[in-house]
Amino acid sequence: GCSRFWCLCFSWIYVFVSEIFPYYLLVHPIFQLLQGSYSFFNCSNLWVSACLCCFYCIKIANFRNSIFIYLKVNIDRMVPWLLLGSVMFSLIIGILVYSTIDKAVCKNLNFTGPEELWKATIGLEEQFFPLVFLIGFVFAASFLLVIFAAVFLLFSLWRHKRTMQTSSMKDLSMDAHIRAMKSVLSFLVMYSINFVCLLLTIIYATKKENIMKLLLYIYL
């Protein structure tokens, strides 16, 4: 909730500044700080949400696999480290985004407006390729974690329902499955909408670009 709140705050701050006071973005290092902070909170939001979905799946789903049983027993102790790792990894992403944009700005100091500044920062030069693929991997990996958590939890719920069909008693495990599925599916819907909107925005923004840039943006 905190990471999502601050992610939305920095999104609104950037939109407000770019629309009302666009030339403030030319003041060093406002643009870099906004982009770096947004990247940090957005990445943190994605990974914390993915960790929460995995926690629901491991805590509630029932599988007899030895690895799954080990995770089920130790998941409570692993959660703080997962959250700390997500925050630290997101901080690294934010710092890399800040550094990359700052290098692009330093190479192009003759801006006449925010549009030229933004075009300079999204130029896919060779040194920016690792960052592009790293961020793309972060988005894809967290999205896949949510999908796998939803699929495993749904399969566990279906299997558990089959074993309880002959019983008319209210089953607490079934209720826990259903509540967890609602949360995980809500995250899945959020990720899907975010992905579709990002894809449409990229296609619209790069319809005049060459096909290689378009493919890289779609991957991102």
Do residues 94 and 36 make contact, with C-beta atoms less than 8 angstroms apart?
A: yes
Range in 8-12, 59-63, 122-126, 185-189 with the lowest mean pLDDT:
122-126
How far apart (Å, rounded) are the C-alpha atoms in residues 200 and 128?
A: 23
pLDDT of residue 124: 47
Specify the length of the chain in residues.
220
Please name the residue that has the structure tokens 């902070």.
37
Average pLDDT, integer, range 144-163: 78
Do residues 61 and 153 make contact, with C-beta atoms less than 8 angstroms apart?
A: yes
Supply the pTM of this predicted model: 0.67
Please name the residue that has the structure tokens 């550094």.
99
Burial per residue of 54-64, b for 16 or more beta-carbon CB atoms within 10 angstroms, e otherwise = bbbbbebbebe
- Long-range (24+ apart) CB contacts under 8 A made by 48-51 are 48/3, 48/83, 48/86, 49/4, 49/142, 49/146, 49/187, 49/190, 49/191, 50/141, 50/142, 50/143, 50/145, 50/146, 50/149, 51/79, 51/82, 51/83, 51/86, 51/145
Name the residue with higher pLDDT: 161 or 97: 97
Do residues 146 and 50 make contact, with C-beta atoms less than 8 angstroms apart?
A: yes
How far apart (Å, rounded) are the C-alpha atoms in residues 137 and 197?
A: 18
pLDDT in tens, 11-61: 888 888 877 887 777 777 888 888 888 889 888 888 888 888 888 888 887
How far apart (Å, rounded) are the C-alpha atoms in residues 191 and 93?
A: 19
pLDDT in tens, 81-127: 988 998 898 999 889 888 887 877 776 655 555 555 555 555 545 55
